[in-house]
């Protein structure tokens, strides 16, 4: 029952809603694989993307997803919009409402900005990443990628390695995967672990311990721009103790996969050879991201 609902996070999304989205994504992926990119499912619907932070994958895939389904899509470039003249998020939202917008896809540096917008406008809202809070569509495409490869999510052993503290991707994946009883292990420098994270999932002592026996190795981007804040001694040190290498990946289960939400810092969080290696699902994740966003837009605006 996703019609007419905003998508703000996976913490409060029901398991059944996640299953509905993943099932619809399977249908959308079939369309994409047949190169069907001119449907009229969302004809007459108006979608606006409003990104206050940089993006390549999320923004482009939402825009293409909605266009492939026949919606009118407008992209607001915050850098050249009236936001730069001091317009508030609320006034921007009300302006989009006045333009008869059906769906606003928002990325914002402030946790809670999508929820605030949702409370105050008529259009439906999708959270495309808010601060350090959630990135639900990334986690949904990650879960779809895992389910497609393994045929199930239940009981999967998932190692999440990298900058967990700043990662909305990690949080959404933990919330989503735990609804399916996946077993999650975490590993990061202590400075890149949020306080109290052990209550959500166990933290390992080494990268080897995290990878050993895992079905999924999910690397997270090291946010090099934060390196000035001295969160770890050096990139070289990070690679030595936390980097994912071909040798370390041998510790994972047979048939294990390597994932990364992108963008990747090659040879930092993951060896370049692994990014392009046989275990890597990184490009497949991008395709699945397009399919999941088609599924969401259809379910929210049109129903099942
Ligand atoms: N994974 C992800 O959110 O990528 P972008 O920042 O390019 O959208």
Please indicate whether residue 95 is annotated as part of the active site.
no
- The average pLDDT across 274-286 equals 98
Task: For residue 197, report the distance from its CA to the centre of ligand 1, in Å.
Answer: 23
Residue 182 tokens, joined: 């996946």
Please indicate whether residue 266 is annotated as part of the active site.
no
Cβ(262) to ligand 1 under 6 A? yes
Provide the pLDDT for residue 224: 73
Active-site residue among 107, 185, 260, 293? 107
Per residue in 100-137, pLDDT (tens digit) is: 999 999 999 999 999 999 999 999 999 999 999 999 99
Q: Check whether 265 has a pLDDT greater than 70.
A: yes
Q: Decide: residue 38, CB within 10 A, 0-12 exposed, 13-18 middle, 19+ buried.
A: exposed
Cβ(136) to ligand 1 under 6 A? no
pLDDT band at 226 (very low <50, low <70, confident <90, very high): low
β-pairing, 46-51 vs 72-77, is: parallel
Cβ(58) to ligand 1 under 6 A? yes
Task: For residue 208, report the distance from its CA to the centre of ligand 1, in Å.
Answer: 27
Other CB atoms within 10 Å distance of the CB of residue 227:
14
Provide the pLDDT for residue 233: 82
Task: For residue 56, report the distance from its CA to the centre of ligand 1, in Å.
Answer: 6
**Residue of the CA atom closest to atom 3 of ligand 1:** 58
- The average pLDDT across 37-41 equals 98
Whole-prediction pTM value?
0.96
Please indicate whether residue 58 is annotated as part of the active site.
yes
Per residue in 227-241, pLDDT (tens digit) is: 667 788 888 999 999
Cis geometry, peptide bond prior to residue 113 (ω within 30 degrees of 0): no
What is the percent of the chain where pLDDT is above 70? 99
Per residue in 151-187, pLDDT (tens digit) is: 999 999 999 999 999 899 999 999 999 999 999 999 9
Provide the pLDDT for residue 228: 64
Task: For residue 232, report the distance from its CA to the centre of ligand 1, in Å.
Answer: 23
């Amino acid at each position: 029952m996703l019609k007419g609902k905003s998508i703000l996070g996976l913490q409060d999304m029901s398991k059944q809603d996640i299953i509905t989205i993943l099932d619809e994504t399977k249908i959308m992926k079939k369309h994409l694989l047949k190169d069907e990119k001119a449907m009229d499912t969302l004809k007459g619907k108006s979608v606006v993307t409003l990104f206050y932070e940089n993006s390549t994958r999320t923004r482009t895939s939402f825009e293409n997803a909605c266009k492939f389904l026949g919606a009118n899509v407008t992209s607001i470039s915050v850098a050249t919009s009236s936001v730069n003249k001091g317009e508030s998020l609320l006034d921007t939202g009300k302006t989009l409402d006045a333009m008869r917008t059906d769906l606003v896809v928002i990325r914002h540096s402030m946790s809670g900005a999508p929820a605030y917008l949702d409370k105050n406008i008529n259009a439906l809202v999708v959270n495309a990443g808010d601060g350090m809070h959630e990135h639900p569509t990334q986690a949904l495409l990650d879960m779809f990628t895992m389910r497609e490869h393994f045929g199930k999510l239940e009981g999967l052993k998932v190692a999440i390695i990298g900058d967990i503290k700043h990662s909305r991707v990690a949080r959404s994946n933990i919330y989503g995967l735990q609804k399916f009883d996946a077993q999650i292990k975490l590993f990061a420098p202590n400075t890149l672990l949020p306080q109290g994270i052990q209550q959500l999932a166990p933290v390992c002592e080494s990268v080897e311990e995290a990878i050993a026996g895992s079905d999924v190795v999910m690397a997270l981007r090291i946010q090099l721009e934060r390196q000035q804040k001295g969160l770890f001694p050096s990139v070289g040190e990070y690679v030595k103790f936390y980097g994912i290498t071909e040798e370390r990946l041998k510790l994972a289960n047979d048939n294990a996969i390597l994932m990364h939400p992108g963008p990747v810092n090659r040879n930092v969080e993951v060896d370049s050879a692994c990014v392009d290696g046989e275990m890597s699902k990184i490009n497949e994740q991008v395709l699945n991201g397009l399919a999941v966003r088609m599924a969401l837009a259809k379910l929210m605006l049109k129903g099942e």
